[in-house]
Copies of this chain bind each other. A is one copy, B any other.
Amino acid sequence: MKATVIGLGLIGGSIAIDLRRRGFVSSLVGVESNAKHARQALEAGLVDDVAPLADALRGVELVILAIPVDAVRALAPAVLDAIGDAAVVLDTGSTKATVCAALAGHPRRAQFVAAHPIAGTENSGPLAALAGLFQGKVNIICERELSSPRALSVAESLFELLGMRTIFMDAAGHDLHLAYVSHLSHVSSFLLGQTVLDIEKSEESIFDLAGSGFASTVRLAKSSPSMWVPIFEQNAENLGRALDEYIAHLDTFRRALAARDSSALYAITNRANDIRRVLDALGARASAGAGLATPIPVPTTNNDRTETLGGTQ
């Protein structure tokens, strides 16, 4: 199968590694607007070639969009316009309602699969790409009924090859849920990072005192703004509601703290402890999923940041 990956960041690059190693594609061309990233992707062997968009779509059978969600919305209709009648296009973005709305009524909507493979790290760019990144994780396909059986079959085979379990949802439900279990976590982490950086200006060496708990809660603040701001904007309604609830809980805690209301503080923290049940279940699932196939050794990682590309999570 002749395939093109648009966007050679963490997600596009990681998909490329697995597709090539496992023989899913006969040739793989990358489209990448950042010249440095294009060069890095070629040097790392993520793709056979990097080409301009029009060339990369000529005669292609499979197109994977792995670019920020604002770019997906802008580009997806034109990509569908440019491909042949037998080609399949899928995206990998962390919001689904916007791209589905942008393609509603498109004459080639059936050739498109709205997907969200839930995987990622806080790093970005082609050098952050990892073999086996998706192994044992969950992929979501939205509006399954609007994709042709053949397009769905190609997409499902691809995600199965990556080691993922695919589940199906409507786009609105996807965006609502992701607001709580992913997008809110990122906002929380970005703002926690900002708060602590503020005091660092006046208090030197504060980070001598930071432990692993701090690192864990602010890790996501390293994530790419060019990937995350479009996600926040496209999911602003759901994320806004989740953020309102989070802020209300923080306000309640703040009042209990000011009042030294021990019983309220114990009630809140005891209640939150129930998250252990959820995390233990997630951990068990991750362990079980990781056993499905032998992970491919990781080729390279680094912390290179990108301003123009992003992954998905």
Closest to A119 in B: B211
User: Which listed residue (B209, B283, B305) contacts A140, Cβ 8 A?
Assistant: B209
One of B208, B262, B266, B303 near A276 (C-beta < 8 A): B303
Nearest CB on B from A127, distance (A): 15
In contact, A246 and B177 (Cβ under 8 angstroms): no
A257 to B273, Cβ gap below 8 A? no
Given contacts A181-B196, A233-B265, 4 further A-B contacts (CB under 8 A): A120-B213, A181-B207, A190-B272, A213-B219
Q: Is A154 part of the contact surface with B, judged by Cβ < 8 Å?
A: no
Secondary structure of the A side of the interface?
helix
The interface residues of chain B lying within 8 Å CB-to-CB of A203 are 176-177, 180
State whether A211 and B120 are in contact (beta carbons under 8 Å apart), knowing that A196-B180, A203-B176, A262-B229 are contacts in the complex. Answer: yes
Pick the residue among B167, B242, B250, B258 that contacts A187 (CB under 8 A).
B250
Q: List 29 A-B contacts (CB under 8 A).
A: A137-B211, A174-B209, A180-B196, A185-B213, A185-B218, A187-B250, A187-B253, A189-B213, A190-B253, A190-B268, A191-B250, A193-B275, A194-B249, A195-B242, A207-B281, A214-B282, A216-B217, A218-B279, A221-B276, A228-B269, A229-B262, A233-B262, A236-B257, A236-B258, A240-B254, A240-B258, A243-B257, A276-B303, A276-B305
Could you say which residues of chain B place their CB within 8 Å of the CB of A247? Answer: 247, 250-251, 254
Residues in B with CB closer than 8 Å to A209 are 118, 138, 140, 174, 177-178, 181-182
A interface with B by C-beta (< 8 Å)? 118-122, 137-138, 140, 167, 174, 176-178, 180-182, 184-200, 203, 206-223, 225, 228-229, 232-233, 236, 239-240, 242-247, 249-251, 253-254, 257-258, 260, 262, 265-266, 268-276, 278-283, 303, 305, 313
Q: Which residues of B contact A222 (CB under 8 A)?
A: 273, 275-276, 279
Asked whether, in the complex, the Cβ of A232 is within 8 Å of the Cβ of B257, the reply is yes
**A181 proximity list for chain B (CB < 8 A):** 196, 206-207, 209-211, 214
Given A181-B214, A213-B313, is A192 in contact with B257 using a C-beta cutoff of 8 Å? Answer: no
Q: For the complex formed, measure the closest distance between the CB of A172 and the CB atoms of chain B, giving whole angstroms.
A: 12
For the complex, give the distance between the alpha carbons of A211 and B133 in Å: 12
From known contacts A177-B209, A208-B138, A215-B282, infer whether A195 and B185 are also in contact, taking CB-CB under 8 Å.
no
**Contact (Cβ within 8 A) A211 B249:** no
Q: Which residues of B contact A182 (CB under 8 A)?
A: 209-211, 213-214
Whether B236 lies near A278 (C-beta < 8 A) is: no
Query: B184, A225: Cβ atoms under 8 Å?
Result: no
Cα distance A121–B249 when bound, in Å? Answer: 24
A182 to chain B, nearest CB (A): 6
The answer to whether A243 touches B236 (Cβ under 8 A) is no
Measured CB to CB, the closest approach of chain B to A262, in angstroms, equals 6
Closest beta carbon of chain B to A284's beta carbon, Å: 12
Please, which residue of chain B has its CB at the minimum distance from the CB of A218? Answer: B275
What are the residues of chain B within 8 A of A210 when measuring CB–CB? Answer: 181-182, 278, 282
